[in-house]
Homo-oligomer: A and B are copies of this chain.
Amino acid sequence: MPFDPETLRYDARGLIPAIAQEAETGEVLMMAWMNAEAVRRTLKTGRVTYWSRSRQAFWVKGESSGNVQELVEMRVDCDRDTLLLLVRQTGPACHTLRRTCFYTAIRDGEEVVLMEPEAST
């Protein structure tokens, strides 16, 4: 069946959450939002493109930092209201310069930071 981004279920703002997962390691890197046009651009260009809620603008991941996400495969969930992006991430995915945004664990009721920022190149 041909895929049409309009058939996804977007929220009231016209957005759908997209989870980025490193294709090789399986590490979950981040979650951000897309609108239908961001889905279309990501599939067309192979460069993961989100919709920035704060800037109200398209956000080609890594466009300014160089830490791009190359799309390996897009997946849709059963309810068609969440996307999973298998990606090849260049450099750290997180704006804190950590490999993943999910670097804080809850252990025995305490917040534990699991990794430090990577050295900038």
A interface list, Cβ under 8 A from B: 1-3, 17, 19, 21, 25-28, 30-31, 43, 73-79, 82, 84, 94-96, 98, 101-107, 109-111, 114
Whole-angstrom CA separation of A98 from B103 in the bound complex? 29
CB within 8 Å for A43 and B75 given contacts A19-B28, A19-B31, A28-B19: no
| A12, closest chain B residue (CB) | B12
- Provide the residues of chain B in CB contact with A19, threshold 8 Å: 19, 28, 31
Q: Is the CB of A75 within 8 A of B105?
A: yes
- Counted per complex, copies of this chain come to 2
Contact B26 A25 (CB under 8 A): yes
Which A-B residue pairs are the 4 nearest by beta carbons?
Answer: A26-B26, A77-B101, A75-B102, A84-B102
